[in-house]
Amino acid sequence: MELIKTPDGAAISGVLMNDMRTGAFCFVKAKAVLVGTGGGPTMYKYHTPSGDKSCDGLAMMLRAGLPLRDMEMVQFHPTGLIAGKDTRITGTIIEEGLRGFGGYLLGGDKERFMHKYDERHERATRDIVSRAMLTEMRAGNTAQHGGLYITMKHLDHPTVSKMFKGMVERCADCGFDLVGGDVEVVPTAHYMMGGVEFNVDCTTAITGLYAAGEDTGGVHGANRLGGNGVGNSTVFGGLAGDAMAKWVPLEGEWRDPDLAAIDAALAYCHHPFANKPANLESIREDMFEFMWDDAGILRDADSLTRATGKLADLETNLNQLGVDGTNVAYNLTWHDWMNLKNLILVSRSIVKAAEAREDSRGAHFRTDFPETRDLENSWFTRVTFDGGDMAVDRVAVDFSIVKPGETLLAEAAAELGQTRNLSYSSS
């Protein structure tokens, strides 16, 4: 529920947890803590992660005073299944290997459209395809549920069935024929390149606190390549484990917690019990809609200003809504309330960073600033939270390995060629 620091705020003392089986809270003291809750941009109308993911790690680290970087960089996967509002399957990924294999994207008029946006057509990068799809949708060229179509029916049916068995079955479960028909899809919020600032050994600015995976920022830059999300988790998860195992015996110690911080966290979590119980679903639905419309794939100054105001209103409304606390065991409505608090806080950081970046690059696209500008003097956003206000700074990028316009690929290819030549001559 909350990261608890020492009274001076310099080190981690432990974590305040909640046992949902009983509703009881427990403070667990720890010499070291690893935050690896995953990101999960479930504040958007269409999203791939399960609905129980609510950016808890990012929210806890913000409240602990740690800076988040690159929060404007939210990646949308072009093809999420759309099967109507009444099923959680909406937003689930239809893998991009389908487009790589030759699948076509079609508008509601059943005509291809990607040639209007990129010479690579359906094989363009995720950000370009997602923007093109949203542009078609906003123009009204949509299918039954407001999305577009992907089709494989022009390809060899047995081959599609064999190579994409899982996707064929997933679509069939929702009543779609991926092999011989058209499947309705929509861009879906998939991955957050932003996260807490951390070091190569996964340490953070708080002594004893480590972070890895999608809770961290800076690993993927402004855009993530497909497959690198799993690599991020496994590589940095391993690095964090190795670093903690070495650090704890040498420098780790039991540190007394800030008792006032524990009391404040408990009061924060118990807040809705003091108000009249109400339905939280309207809060969630409002957030879905305006984050998608105003702070999603396409943004501008006006839309981000609207999102800022709506997030403030939403938090005010949520704070006034109550939850029945008669029985706190398995009280999912209570957990929903706390999850929404976390999502609103992280959404504020996304909007704040997006306002600060007045150009377009990677997953961030401003229709009022569509060009990528001044690459040589690139900077990243750093968002901080003081318990009330949120601030954003610009931090210069240190091009320590490769500079804009340079590449390591030619050098690597040359080295690979030399190695092969040596191998051939010795054989």
Name the active-site residue from 63, 99, 284, 382: 99
Q: Within 10 A of 270 (CB to CB), how many other CB atoms are there?
A: 14
Q: Which residues does 245 contact at the CB level (< 8 Å), separation at least 6? A: none
Largest CA distance in the chain: 81
Contact 96, 78 (CB under 8 A): yes
Contact 188, 77 (CB under 8 A): yes
d(CA 260, CA 139) in angstroms, rounded, equals 53
Q: How far is CA 426 from the centre of its chain?
A: 49
Contact 288, 39 (CB under 8 A): no
Which residue, among 30, 5, 16, 17, has the nearest Cα to 253 in the 3D structure?
30
361 is catalytic: no
* 266 three-state secondary structure: helix
The two three-digit tokens of residue 244, written as one number: 């903690």
Residue 315: Cβ-neighbour burial (10 angstroms; 0-12, 13-18, 19+): middle
Contact 37, 57 (CB under 8 A): yes
**Residue whose entry in the numeric block shows the structure tokens 């590449």:** 407
Please report, for residues 36, 94, 104, 285, 306, the alpha-carbon distance to residue 152 in angstroms, rounded to integers and kept in the order given: 37, 12, 7, 33, 39
99 is catalytic: yes
Question: What is the rounded radius of gyration, in angstroms, for the C-alpha atoms of the chain?
Answer: 23
Length of the chain: 427
Instruction: For 118-158, give the DSSP string.
Output: -TTGGGS-HHHHHHHHHHHHHTT---TTS-EEEE-TTS-HH
Q: Which residues does 392 contact at the CB level (< 8 Å), separation at least 6? A: 352, 353, 355, 356, 381, 382, 383, 384
DSSP 3-state percent helix, strand, coil across the chain (nearest 5): 40, 20, 40
d(CA 373, CA 364) in angstroms, rounded, equals 13
203 pairs with which residues across the strands? 210
Name the active-site residue from 47, 77, 131, 348: 77
The catalytic residue positions are 77, 99
